[in-house]
Amino acid sequence: MTIKPLADRVVIKMLEAEETTKSGIILAASAKEKPSVAEVVAVGPGGLVEGNQIDMYLKVGQKVLLAKYAGTEVKVDGETYTILRQSDVLAIVE
């Protein structure tokens, strides 16, 4: 099954959180923060949303930063994805 987002929506897959700190300390699963970096999996077509023209600038494969609690998580074929509006993305990681 595939997910095709509508309007100004984007489907992302969260990247794994770091398991060790910069100083080499291994973190327990409960101590890890929710990652805020994700990879774009699918992008909607944009268009007219709530009376405003929305152009999509995100592309599949880009890594992005997002707010900690942005979007809605969904499970498809055992994989967890997040669907959110393009405006919820804070930055593109280059």
Q: Which DSSP string corresponds to 59-74?
A: -TT-EEEE-TT-SEEE
**Cα 48 from Cα 79, distance rounded (Å):** 30
pLDDT, position 80: 94
16-74: per-residue pLDDT in tens?
765 555 666 665 555 445 558 999 999 999 998 889 999 999 999 999 999 888 899 99
| pTM for this prediction | 0.79
Q: How many CA atoms lie within 13 A of 35 on its CB side?
A: 15
Q: Which DSSP string corresponds to 18-56?
A: PSB-TT-PBPPGGGPPPP-EEEEEEE---EEETTEEE--
